[in-house]
Structure 1
Amino acid sequence: MLKYDENILFLDKPYGWTSNYTLNKIKKIIKKKKYGYIGTLDPLATGMIPIIFDNGTKYFQYILNLPKKYNVIARLGKFTKTYDSESKINIYTNKINFNINFILNKINLFKGKILQKPPIYSSIKINGIRLYNYARSNIKCIIKSRYVKIYIINIISLKNEFLELEITCSKGTYIRSLVNDIGISLGCMAYVYSLRRLSIGNFNKMITISQLINI
């Protein structure tokens, strides 16, 4: 059984839960004075989200700055406005170049330090307003690109239009934006079909909500 200490817990976030909803669930299970989480996970993503308690705030910046490792399945030939399956799925093309060397060459272009524009459906604030609120209100705003670093990006499998990747990246990287940009580079568009955060730095062991309840 995985254990948690009094300051930090590496939780396996369930599918469909927002990061805030997850934190509120933890508050009902573990009684502490202060709570927080490090690194927002999209509702449709699963995997590691660090929960900090009380004096655990001293770990915040350290953990935030660590590289993040993800497993992502990109669906080629289709796109959505949220860059994941949370919004309507649109067909872009059925003509996809499945040549593995072609795909690999395009993906390798995204290794290293790259400029990335965050998705409009994200929690980043501009003038005190979160981007997803601009999007939902159909208000246009200027989203500035920023530098992020892709340390590792490997192809795990390619089955029909589903491209599975393993990615290690810096803080601030949006996997949804990365997949969207890869889809554009491939000439067929793409969106995130599934996403799981596997580890943060050397931290790769997680505990589930059900395990936590049974401790």
Structure 2
Amino acid sequence: MESPCPSRPAFNFAEGEVLLIDKPLRWTSFDVVRKIRNAMKPLKVKVGHAGTLDPLATGLLVVCTGKFTKRIDEFQSQKKEYTGTITLGATTPSYDLERAIDQRFDLSGITYEQINGTAASFVGEIEQIPPAHSAIKMDGERVYEKARRGEAVEVKPRNVHIYEFEITAIQLPDVDFRVVCSKGTYIRSLAHDFGKAMNNGAHLSRLRRTRSGDFNVAHAWQMTDLVNHIKGFTLAVSDEDIQKS
């Protein structure tokens, strides 16, 4: 994947492009797709993303256009790498900062050795329950929509694989980490379960996706730069070129 730069060859959106986006904080993954789709609207090509990022997460979002949308499942199935912060001593219903703290726990007695040992215990295949505030569909509706209405939501557990779980810094109550995991892993659930494994409570307070398969956020576009680049490209395309796309 080439690094984005002004000298990059012209896009071929219809044949297929893989666009690496550094998703901004508080944007949904669909916000990103919609913005890109609107920027290339004259070309009328398909646009889709390969793996949702929560609004409170930043980092790598893989977006496919044209014929490359057929490869979305392939890209989604690859390993993911995340960095972030788990905050001990408090839980939230959403397992992150989307909802307010609902319970607090005493942090006295927690040691660095316990934190590192707990992280190591999650490496391998584990069973986790996705958060009730997630985009999983149940009865044709996203479960987070049910949860926000106060309806009871029972999400089935799933098996995922944690390849690496490294603690990179500890400044209680915050624990910084790096995780490499399989498709379908909820880092929010991992943070919640991490707190439970320590006989405490925890929630995810920061998350950034840094890698998906061979794609790295270091090669990703900032949204403003990409949208301006796409708009410049589409304006330069002649009517004849649009018909060929």
Q: Structure 1 runs of 4+ off > 3 angstroms?
A: 3-6
Q: Would you tell me which structure has more helix in proportion to its own residues?
A: 2
Structure 2 distance, partners of 1:55, 1:96, is 55
SS in 1 for 2:225: helix
- Decide which moves more: 161-170 or 131-140: 131-140
Q: After superposition, where does 1:68-79 map in structure 2 within 5 Å?
A: 68-79=80-91
**Percent sequence identity over aligned pairs:** 34
* Residue 142 of structure 2 corresponds to residue 140 of structure 1: no
* Structure 2 segments unaligned to the other structure (5+ residues): 230-245
Deviation string 1:116-168 (CA, Å, 9 cap, x unpaired) is 10000001012222211221222223311010000111000001211000000
| TM norm structure 1 | 0.94
SS in 2 for 1:22: helix
Q: After superposition, where does 1:1-215 map in structure 2 within 5 Å?
A: 2=4, 5=11, 6=13, 7-31=17-41, 32=43, 33-204=45-216, 205-215=219-229
Deviation string 1:14-57 (CA, Å, 9 cap, x unpaired) is 00001111111112223441111111100010001111111111
Structure 1 distance, partners of 2:98, 2:154, is 23
Structure 2 distance, partners of 1:157, 1:138, is 36
* Partner residue, 2:235: none
Q: What is the identity, as a one-letter code, of the residue corresponding to 1:211?
A: D
SS in 2 for 1:101: helix
Question: CA contact under 8 A between 1:77 and 1:96: conserved in structure 2?
Answer: no
Structure 2 distance, partners of 1:143, 1:91, is 21
Q: What is the identity, as a one-letter code, of the residue corresponding to 2:134?
A: S
